[in-house]
Amino acid sequence: MQRANPYLTAATAAALIASVAGAALAQRPSQLTEVAQFDHQATGVAVVADGRRFVNFPRWTDDAPISVAEIMKDGSLRPYPDARWNEWRNARSSELSVGEHFVCVQSIVPDGRGNLWVLDPGAPGNEKILPGAPKLVRVDLKTNSVTKVIPVPEDVALQGTYLNDIRFSPDGKLGYITDSGTRGAIIVVDLESGQSWRTLDGHPSTQVDKAVTVTLDGAPLRRPDGRQPAFAADGIAISNDGKTLFYQALTGQTLYSIDTALLARDVAEARRTAGVRTITRTHVADGLWMSKAGVLYLTSPQDYSIKRLSGATVETVLTDRRLRWPDTFAEGPDGRIYVTASHIQDTVWFKPGAPASVPTQLFAFTPAR
């Protein structure tokens, strides 16, 4: 049997993206507006059907006082869904249950079915996983109450795993999570049974590209000991019909895709890996987002930009120096796109002597028509 070519030709890539993107994209630049400021490092953002906005704060360099918050109309933050779920503190870790509190939330994503899902890697400092802490938490947006907790077991959330971001199948039955840790993978969760499994575990498409150097502010970004950022599969997006998953390592410059049918538990790994497609050469990217209009957006931390896929090439939507590490996207009911600036390069990881708490922002732009 002839093996399928996992690399797309430019013509095939263009055809695939055209089927996802729909109408041609306008070239007029978009404008960036600051929506909110925060005293702590924010990564994830979510905007739901009624326009309510949410943000999350991971415990990377400081013991954030809130993990998940709703941004109120006056700009204040309300712990969400309540104060009890947000009362975890690293300093009180021996007193509180990791299964009933947010430990280190990385992303928050609505499923379009009336729920907000909270993804908790359970690894404060982006380091060791606390036993029993990795989980998915479903919050009913009408009642503002937790209705389901799905633990991610230790044979799926391996030590060294970092659950990064999640997308949902249109029928609400499956979640797809990137593992940006030391052994990248795509983790699939059956949201009904709670079972989960690893796919593309260790596959080149989910791994750090060791040839890539992350450069910011005119110099390679390195820790005091010389280490550069090394994050595996990170950004993730799903086509609006749910048939195609897009993903990329943060420390990488290649956008990949795979048919979601190949991520089913009963698919042989050899068949699955043969189905990985290379879409195009990109840039260092953190967040991915497939808009309701079918446009795939990518953040670009190295040049303070938001980009989008146009055919088989990547083009710049906007550039703004305020976007110090554009991180995660969300989309409002009116089509407005939101993005957090998480200031990773300004943290104590890379700037010795910097304060543990890094002020961050939430921005938004209206895509050009």
- Enter the CATH code of domain 14-53+108-117+160-364: 2.120.10.30
The per-residue pLDDT for range 123-155, each reduced to its tens digit, is 998 889 999 999 999 999 999 999 999 999 999
C-beta of residue 152 within 8 angstroms of C-beta of residue 189: yes
Number of neighbouring beta carbons within 10 Å of residue 178: 31
The confidence band for 18, taking pLDDT boundaries of 50, 70 and 90, is very low
Residue 330 has, within 13 A of its CA and on its CB side, a CA count of: 29
SS3 annotation, 226-279: CCCCCCCEEEEEECCCCCEEEEEECCCCEEEEEEHHHHCCCCCHHHHHHCCEEE
For residue 104, CA distances in Å to 21, 50, 121, 347 come to: 34, 27, 6, 17
The confidence band for 368, taking pLDDT boundaries of 50, 70 and 90, is confident
Closest CA to 251 of 315, 135, 164, 322: 164
Nearby residues of 218 by Cβ (< 8 Å), 6 or more positions away: none
The confidence band for 29, taking pLDDT boundaries of 50, 70 and 90, is low
Measured CA to CA, the distance from residue 148 to residue 333 in angstroms comes to 25
Number of neighbouring beta carbons within 10 Å of residue 163: 28
**Does the pLDDT of residue 25 top 80, yes or no?**
no
For residue 368, CA distances in Å to 29, 51, 293, 319 come to: 7, 20, 12, 14
Tokens 């055809």, residue? Answer: 15
Nearby residues of 16 by Cβ (< 8 Å), 6 or more positions away: 8, 244, 257, 277, 279
For the chain, what are the domain ranges? 14-53+108-117+160-364
The confidence band for 27, taking pLDDT boundaries of 50, 70 and 90, is very low
The confidence band for 340, taking pLDDT boundaries of 50, 70 and 90, is very high
Measured CA to CA, the distance from residue 85 to residue 69 in angstroms comes to 11
Nearby residues of 97 by Cβ (< 8 Å), 6 or more positions away: none
The per-residue pLDDT for range 353-363, each reduced to its tens digit, is 999 899 999 99
What value does the mean pLDDT take over residues 212-226? 93
